[in-house]
Chains A and B, each alone.
Chain A
Amino acid sequence: MAGVWVYAETVDGAPKPIALELLTKARALGEPTAISLGPGASKAAETLGRYGAKKVYVHEDPGFVEVLASPAVDLLARLIEKEPPGLVLFGMTYEGRDVAARLSARLGTALIANATDVTNKDGGWAVVSPVFGGSMLVTTVSRTKEPTLVLLRPKAVTAEPAAGGEAPQVETLSDPVDTSKPGARVLRREKEKATGPRLEDAAVIVSGGRGLGAPENFKMLDELAAELGAAVGASRAVVDAGWKPYAFQIGQTGKTVKPAVYIAVGISGAMQHTVGMKGAKTIIAINKDRDAPIFKMADLGIVGDVHKIVPQLIQEVRSRKGK
């Protein structure tokens, strides 16, 4: 079977959820090999095996986390030259995007981004990506030599352990890691204090758009979210306007979320946004414009003034929780 590689991002010796999603897809396509880099990489190997990796390349050098992308690209390019796989899967993440794009330029091979599915087709790979906010699906194939590089969107695949996932063959690499070249060096990492659940993990999301009218009106969404144990998200329009940091952005250029309940407040439902949230199980929309596209996908839509409805809703939720 064709070699399918997975660039398995890890944090402190544990695979990130995207790594397990990629492996779940990879094992449907071929024999998966995972590449796990940075301190703690070998600790992640066992879990990677449980999700289907037959072989795991590990390299523990701290250079992989001290310098962005380039050391990983150097190593991947060397490994690929020795034993070219048919396909390499990356997560459409901050790290995955930088590594995959640099690698494609280094190798001169196809990079297909924003993928939600990959299938075997005529001995190659057919890659499905949503365009126009997910209203259309395009299928793309590579026209260059192997490997095809694919950036898979987070949450496109539900991670599931492999049946009888055996311990993988682990190959520990010791290639020298050159961090002396001019590179992007991480000086420090700052964690921003977050209240409530992470957007990616939240079962309920309360999300705001331009219809809130002013940045200070996000406070009522914070309050509603706190009552519901929900995370707060935002549309690109309000992030571009500087009302909320980029980390809150849901959509094509932001995060993809799949909560059980998504409450869209003052969001018109531009395709840019809906591609990131249309996987929600249930969508509730509150908007003053009856013709807003968000109502075409909402399970419950309320046409009205968000400034009246949201405070009332906070009261309703409080009183019902009190009972």
Chain B
Amino acid sequence: MNVLVCVKQIPDPNAPSKLDPQTKRLVREGVDLVLDPGDEHAVEAGLQLVEKDGGEVTIISMGPPRALEAIRRALAMGAHRGILVTDPELENSDALSTARAIAAAIKGQAFDLIICGTESTDGSSGAMPAQLAELLGLPLLSFAKKLQVSSGKAVIDRQTDEGYDVVEAPLPAVVTVTGGMNEARYPALRGIMQAKNKEVKQLALAEIRLDGQAGKAALTQEVVEVVPAEARKAGEVVEDRGDGAKRVADFLRELKVI
């Protein structure tokens, strides 16, 4: 059972984020960068599978050289090796470009499953996993809140508006996992020490042979304007002095809710 897990390094979602009005890109200076919390669930899902059935978890990411830190975090959780696709030409790639780069980078790798988060916490388009599945010609099991693998098949409980669908696909397949699937482990000190010696292969654009199909040369879209949205106005904020509940109830009556 060999599992590839796609991860992304993002600005700390708990810190306020800013766009540079000139470049229309995220301001990364002075902001802590972290492994996307959504991806931690993907790493956890991969680790649980190989702990049960044997095999290895390989972490793959595309990003600037410092994205290595996000891969190290996943390695500290217990993943075995890493691949970082990094090239100045790939800066500011869109989802399709990223999917092409990842697909090219894993060419020749033997894997049974690719696991991703449902979407990144910063970009949130959620397109990359499905695009990767399409480029590789693989089935996509998306929005999984439960994942089981046995006898060459993966079966998930797929989130729906009304409940869930039980969906099955033959391996190899791509799976996206929701945050509710598991509780991601916290790296132990021993894991953090071991992660320093684990192999992380770095690949540049020329090495994945994708000239013209990824990065700046292949952007499918462009942000042409960034404006602040109209903000809601704050209303009345009061300290509860034992009458807070009554205030809310009065307001609900005014609104004809009760």
A residues touching B (Cβ–Cβ < 8 Å)? Answer: 68-70, 73, 93-94, 97-98, 100-102, 104-106, 108-114, 126, 130-132, 134-144, 151, 182-192, 194, 198, 200, 204, 228, 236, 239-242, 245-247, 252-253, 260-261, 263, 270, 272, 278, 282-284, 286, 290, 295-305, 308-310, 312-313, 315-317, 320-321
Contact = CB atoms under 8 A, between A and B. Distances in A.
B30 interface: no
A245 B183 contact: no
Which 8 A-B pairs give the minimum distances between C-beta atoms?
A304-B240, A101-B130, A312-B245, A113-B125, A192-B163, A301-B237, A299-B235, A105-B134
Contacts of A236: 179
A303 B140 contact: no
B31 interface: no
A143 B179 contact: no
A316 B179 contact: no
A302 B253 contact: no
B19 A132 contact: yes
A139 B237 contact: no
B228 A138 contact: no
B26 to A, nearest CB: 9
B125 to A, nearest CB: 4
A113 B127 contact: yes
Contact of A69 (B19, B41, B130, B246): B130
Contacts of B238: 300-303
A130 B229 contact: yes
A110 B221 contact: yes
Given A253-B119, A304-B240, A313-B249, A136 B226 contact: yes
Nearest to A308: B240
Contacts of B157: 190
Interface stretch (B83-91, B168-176, B191-199, B202-210): B168-176
Interface in B233-249: 233-240, 244-249
B167 interface: yes
A142 B221 contact: yes
B34 to A, nearest CB: 14
B97 to A, nearest CB: 11
A272 B134 contact: no
A270 B145 CA distance: 24
Given A246-B143, A317-B258, 7 more contacts: A70-B139, A73-B134, A105-B130, A188-B166, A204-B257, A316-B248, A320-B258
Contacts of B167: 68, 184-187
Nearest to B21: A136
A284 B232 CA distance: 13
B186 interface: no
A138 to B, nearest CB: 5
A104 B253 CA distance: 49
Contacts of B169: 182-185
Contacts of A151: 125
12 contacts: A101-B95, A101-B131, A111-B96, A135-B231, A137-B226, A137-B229, A184-B167, A253-B179, A260-B257, A290-B237, A296-B234, A321-B258
A111 B240 contact: no
Contacts of B166: 186-190
Nearest to A101: B130
Contacts of B229: 130, 134-137
A253 B240 contact: no
B1 to A, nearest CB: 18
A204 B38 CA distance: 29
B29 interface: no
A129 to B, nearest CB: 9
Contacts of B237: 290, 295, 298, 301-303
A114 B124 contact: yes
B140 A247 contact: no
B69 interface: no
A309 to B, nearest CB: 5
B258 A140 contact: no
A171 B192 CA distance: 60
Given A108-B96, A272-B121, A143 B222 contact: yes
A278 B229 CA distance: 11
Nearest to A183: B139
A136 B228 contact: yes
B114 to A, nearest CB: 13
Contacts of A137: 226-229
A215 to B, nearest CB: 12
B145, B165, B170, most chain A CB atoms within 10 A: B165
Nearest to B100: A105
Interface string B72-98: 000000000000000000000011100
Contacts of A278: 232
A189 B96 contact: no
A113 to B, nearest CB: 4
Contacts of B133: 102
A316 B232 contact: no
A141 B221 contact: yes
Contacts of A191: 162-163
A92 B109 CA distance: 32
Contacts of A93: 161
